[in-house]
Structure 1
Amino acid sequence: MPDVILTRRLDAPRDLVWRACTDPATFAAWFWPPRLEPRYVLDARVGGSWRVESPVALMAVGGVFAVVSPPELLVYSWRWDGEQEESRVELRLVPARERSTLLELTHTGISTDETAADLRQGWNDYLDRLPAALSERDG
Protein backbone atom coordinates (compact mmCIF):
# COMPACT_ATOMS: atom_id res chain seq x y z
CA MET A 1 0.00 0.00 0.00
CA PRO A 2 1.28 3.48 -0.84
CA ASP A 3 1.71 6.09 1.91
CA VAL A 4 1.74 9.87 1.74
CA ILE A 5 4.59 11.35 3.77
CA LEU A 6 5.08 15.12 3.86
CA THR A 7 7.21 17.41 6.00
CA ARG A 8 6.83 21.15 6.38
CA ARG A 9 8.87 23.64 8.41
CA LEU A 10 6.50 26.27 9.78
CA ASP A 11 7.57 29.62 11.19
CA ALA A 12 5.36 29.34 14.25
CA PRO A 13 5.73 27.86 17.72
CA ARG A 14 4.54 24.30 18.21
CA ASP A 15 1.59 25.26 20.46
CA LEU A 16 0.23 27.54 17.73
CA VAL A 17 0.56 24.80 15.09
CA TRP A 18 -1.15 22.37 17.49
CA ARG A 19 -4.04 24.82 17.89
CA ALA A 20 -4.31 25.13 14.09
CA CYS A 21 -4.82 21.36 13.92
CA THR A 22 -7.18 20.96 16.89
CA ASP A 23 -9.16 24.18 17.42
CA PRO A 24 -12.27 24.31 15.18
CA ALA A 25 -12.02 28.02 14.34
CA THR A 26 -8.31 27.92 13.60
CA PHE A 27 -8.63 24.67 11.62
CA ALA A 28 -11.39 26.25 9.53
CA ALA A 29 -9.03 29.09 8.60
CA TRP A 30 -6.80 26.86 6.50
CA PHE A 31 -8.05 23.35 5.81
CA TRP A 32 -10.48 23.69 2.88
CA PRO A 33 -10.69 26.82 0.72
CA PRO A 34 -13.53 29.27 1.46
CA ARG A 35 -14.94 28.88 -2.07
CA LEU A 36 -16.15 25.40 -1.01
CA GLU A 37 -18.15 26.96 1.86
CA PRO A 38 -16.96 24.20 4.19
CA ARG A 39 -18.60 23.32 7.48
CA TYR A 40 -16.47 21.85 10.24
CA VAL A 41 -16.93 19.60 13.26
CA LEU A 42 -13.75 19.05 15.27
CA ASP A 43 -13.74 17.38 18.69
CA ALA A 44 -10.02 16.79 19.22
CA ARG A 45 -10.07 14.21 22.01
CA VAL A 46 -9.56 10.45 21.94
CA GLY A 47 -12.80 9.04 20.56
CA GLY A 48 -13.93 12.47 19.36
CA SER A 49 -14.96 12.95 15.76
CA TRP A 50 -13.99 15.36 13.05
CA ARG A 51 -15.77 16.14 9.80
CA VAL A 52 -15.49 18.62 6.96
CA GLU A 53 -18.30 18.92 4.45
CA SER A 54 -18.94 21.14 1.47
CA PRO A 55 -22.50 21.66 0.29
CA VAL A 56 -21.06 23.43 -2.77
CA ALA A 57 -18.77 20.54 -3.83
CA LEU A 58 -21.13 17.86 -2.47
CA MET A 59 -18.35 16.08 -0.61
CA ALA A 60 -17.34 15.36 2.95
CA VAL A 61 -14.57 13.61 4.86
CA GLY A 62 -14.26 12.70 8.50
CA GLY A 63 -13.10 10.28 11.10
CA VAL A 64 -12.33 9.64 14.76
CA PHE A 65 -9.35 10.73 16.85
CA ALA A 66 -7.27 7.78 18.09
CA VAL A 67 -4.36 9.68 19.71
CA VAL A 68 -4.40 13.25 21.02
CA SER A 69 -1.11 14.00 22.75
CA PRO A 70 -0.59 17.79 22.91
CA PRO A 71 1.39 19.43 21.52
CA GLU A 72 3.21 16.61 19.76
CA LEU A 73 1.03 13.90 18.20
CA LEU A 74 -2.40 13.72 16.61
CA VAL A 75 -3.69 10.50 14.98
CA TYR A 76 -7.10 10.08 13.39
CA SER A 77 -9.00 8.03 10.85
CA TRP A 78 -9.90 9.42 7.41
CA ARG A 79 -12.87 8.34 5.31
CA TRP A 80 -14.65 10.13 2.48
CA ASP A 81 -18.45 9.99 2.60
CA GLY A 82 -19.77 7.22 0.39
CA GLU A 83 -16.48 5.29 0.40
CA GLN A 84 -15.61 2.11 2.26
CA GLU A 85 -11.87 2.73 2.50
CA GLU A 86 -10.68 4.14 5.80
CA SER A 87 -7.11 5.33 6.17
CA ARG A 88 -5.08 6.87 8.97
CA VAL A 89 -3.45 10.28 9.39
CA GLU A 90 -0.62 10.97 11.82
CA LEU A 91 0.56 14.51 12.48
CA ARG A 92 3.73 14.85 14.51
CA LEU A 93 4.91 18.32 15.59
CA VAL A 94 8.59 18.66 16.39
CA PRO A 95 10.12 21.87 17.76
CA ALA A 96 12.69 23.26 15.34
CA ARG A 97 14.63 26.52 15.30
CA GLU A 98 13.48 29.23 17.65
CA ARG A 99 9.72 29.69 17.24
CA SER A 100 9.44 27.21 14.38
CA THR A 101 7.94 23.75 14.09
CA LEU A 102 8.53 20.77 11.87
CA LEU A 103 5.20 19.22 10.87
CA GLU A 104 5.56 15.58 9.83
CA LEU A 105 2.44 14.17 8.17
CA THR A 106 2.02 10.46 7.43
CA HIS A 107 -1.17 9.22 5.75
CA THR A 108 -1.28 5.40 5.68
CA GLY A 109 -3.71 2.65 4.74
CA ILE A 110 -4.20 3.98 1.21
CA SER A 111 -5.23 1.28 -1.24
CA THR A 112 -4.04 2.60 -4.62
CA ASP A 113 -1.34 4.77 -6.12
CA GLU A 114 -4.04 6.92 -7.72
CA THR A 115 -5.71 7.56 -4.37
CA ALA A 116 -2.31 8.32 -2.81
CA ALA A 117 -1.57 10.84 -5.59
CA ASP A 118 -4.93 12.56 -5.00
CA LEU A 119 -4.35 12.65 -1.24
CA ARG A 120 -0.80 13.97 -1.70
CA GLN A 121 -2.14 16.81 -3.85
CA GLY A 122 -4.87 17.55 -1.34
CA TRP A 123 -2.49 17.59 1.61
CA ASN A 124 -0.08 19.85 -0.25
CA ASP A 125 -2.96 22.24 -0.97
CA TYR A 126 -4.06 22.19 2.69
CA LEU A 127 -0.54 22.69 4.01
CA ASP A 128 0.11 25.51 1.52
CA ARG A 129 -2.69 27.47 3.25
CA LEU A 130 -1.46 26.76 6.79
CA PRO A 131 1.38 29.35 7.06
CA ALA A 132 -0.97 32.27 6.28
CA ALA A 133 -3.44 31.05 8.92
CA LEU A 134 -0.61 30.72 11.45
CA SER A 135 0.72 34.22 10.78
CA GLU A 136 -2.78 35.69 11.22
CA ARG A 137 -3.12 33.93 14.60
CA ASP A 138 0.45 34.73 15.72
CA GLY A 139 0.23 38.45 14.86
Structure 2
Amino acid sequence: MHAPLVVTTTVAAPPDALWRAWTRAEAWARWWWPHWPDSRYEVDARPGGFYRACSPGAGVGVHGIFTQVDPGHRLAMTWTWEGEVADPPRERVWSR
Protein backbone atom coordinates (compact mmCIF):
# COMPACT_ATOMS: atom_id res chain seq x y z
CA MET A 1 0.00 0.00 0.00
CA HIS A 2 1.26 3.45 -0.90
CA ALA A 3 0.97 6.53 1.26
CA PRO A 4 -1.37 9.14 -0.22
CA LEU A 5 0.13 12.08 -2.06
CA VAL A 6 -1.39 15.36 -0.94
CA VAL A 7 -0.81 18.47 -3.03
CA THR A 8 -2.12 21.81 -1.87
CA THR A 9 -2.01 24.94 -3.96
CA THR A 10 -3.55 28.37 -4.06
CA VAL A 11 -4.70 29.70 -7.41
CA ALA A 12 -5.12 33.43 -7.97
CA ALA A 13 -8.55 33.21 -9.56
CA PRO A 14 -12.12 33.72 -8.44
CA PRO A 15 -13.80 30.54 -7.13
CA ASP A 16 -16.44 30.59 -9.89
CA ALA A 17 -13.72 30.64 -12.57
CA LEU A 18 -12.01 27.63 -10.98
CA TRP A 19 -15.34 25.84 -10.71
CA ARG A 20 -16.02 26.36 -14.43
CA ALA A 21 -12.47 25.21 -15.27
CA TRP A 22 -13.08 21.86 -13.56
CA THR A 23 -16.72 21.25 -14.51
CA ARG A 24 -17.00 22.12 -18.22
CA ALA A 25 -15.42 20.20 -21.09
CA GLU A 26 -14.83 23.36 -23.13
CA ALA A 27 -12.91 24.85 -20.19
CA TRP A 28 -10.74 21.72 -19.85
CA ALA A 29 -9.82 22.14 -23.51
CA ARG A 30 -8.24 25.51 -22.75
CA TRP A 31 -5.90 24.26 -20.01
CA TRP A 32 -5.67 20.46 -20.07
CA TRP A 33 -3.23 19.31 -22.80
CA PRO A 34 -4.09 22.10 -25.25
CA HIS A 35 -0.74 21.49 -26.99
CA TRP A 36 -2.00 18.12 -28.28
CA PRO A 37 -4.49 18.92 -31.06
CA ASP A 38 -6.30 15.56 -30.84
CA SER A 39 -7.18 15.95 -27.15
CA ARG A 40 -10.81 15.19 -26.31
CA TYR A 41 -12.82 15.94 -23.19
CA GLU A 42 -16.05 14.70 -21.62
CA VAL A 43 -17.31 16.17 -18.35
CA ASP A 44 -20.61 15.40 -16.63
CA ALA A 45 -20.11 17.23 -13.32
CA ARG A 46 -22.79 15.74 -11.09
CA PRO A 47 -22.57 13.05 -8.41
CA GLY A 48 -22.00 9.80 -10.29
CA GLY A 49 -21.17 11.70 -13.51
CA PHE A 50 -18.26 10.59 -15.68
CA TYR A 51 -15.30 12.59 -16.96
CA ARG A 52 -12.54 11.75 -19.39
CA ALA A 53 -9.64 13.60 -20.96
CA CYS A 54 -7.53 11.84 -23.56
CA SER A 55 -5.05 12.43 -26.33
CA PRO A 56 -4.85 9.30 -28.51
CA GLY A 57 -1.83 10.61 -30.43
CA ALA A 58 0.13 11.16 -27.23
CA GLY A 59 -1.11 7.87 -25.80
CA VAL A 60 -2.37 9.41 -22.59
CA GLY A 61 -5.73 9.74 -20.89
CA VAL A 62 -7.43 9.97 -17.54
CA HIS A 63 -10.98 9.21 -16.45
CA GLY A 64 -13.14 8.92 -13.38
CA ILE A 65 -16.43 9.53 -11.64
CA PHE A 66 -17.50 12.64 -9.74
CA THR A 67 -18.21 11.55 -6.16
CA GLN A 68 -19.06 14.91 -4.56
CA VAL A 69 -20.37 18.04 -6.28
CA ASP A 70 -21.16 21.09 -4.15
CA PRO A 71 -21.11 23.95 -6.70
CA GLY A 72 -18.49 26.56 -5.93
CA HIS A 73 -17.29 24.76 -2.79
CA ARG A 74 -16.21 21.16 -3.18
CA LEU A 75 -15.51 18.79 -6.03
CA ALA A 76 -14.28 15.23 -5.50
CA MET A 77 -13.68 12.60 -8.14
CA THR A 78 -11.99 9.29 -8.71
CA TRP A 79 -8.85 9.52 -10.82
CA THR A 80 -7.50 6.70 -12.97
CA TRP A 81 -4.93 6.98 -15.74
CA GLU A 82 -5.93 5.13 -18.92
CA GLY A 83 -4.33 1.69 -18.92
CA GLU A 84 -3.83 1.71 -15.14
CA VAL A 85 -5.60 -0.76 -12.93
CA ALA A 86 -6.56 1.15 -9.80
CA ASP A 87 -8.55 -0.64 -7.15
CA PRO A 88 -9.90 1.38 -5.54
CA PRO A 89 -9.66 4.28 -8.00
CA ARG A 90 -7.55 7.28 -7.06
CA GLU A 91 -9.35 10.31 -5.62
CA ARG A 92 -8.72 14.00 -6.16
CA VAL A 93 -10.47 16.67 -4.14
CA TRP A 94 -10.71 20.34 -4.96
CA SER A 95 -12.00 22.67 -2.35
CA ARG A 96 -12.04 26.42 -1.91
Verify same fold: TM over 0.5.
Answer: yes
Structure-1-length-normalised TM-score:
0.61
The reply on whether 1:7 has 2:8 as its aligned counterpart is yes
Percent identity over paired residues: 35
Summarize the alignment of residues 52-131 of structure 1 with structure 2, pairs less than 5 Å apart.
52-85=53-86, 86-93=89-96
Structure number with the higher helix fraction is 1
Q: Which moved more, 1:50-59 or 1:25-34?
A: 25-34
Asked whether the 8 Å contact 2:36–2:55 carries over to 1, the reply is no
Q: Is the 8 A contact 1:48 1:65 kept in 2?
A: yes
User: Do the aligned partners of 1:36 and 1:55 also contact (CA within 8 Å) in 2?
Assistant: no
Name segments (4+ residues, structure 1) moved above 3 Å.
Answer: none
Paired letter, 1:69? D
Q: What is the alpha-carbon distance in structure 1 between the residues aligned to residue 38 and residue 48 of structure 2?
A: 26
Unpaired runs of at least 5, structure 2: none
Alignment partner, residue 23 of structure 2: 22
Under a length normalisation based on structure 2, what TM-score does the superposition of the two structures give?
A: 0.85
Shift of 1:79: 1.2
Unaligned runs of 5+ in 1: 94-139
The one-character-per-residue Cα deviations of 1:119-138 (angstroms, maximum 9, x if unpaired) are: xxxxxxxxxxxxxxxxxxxx
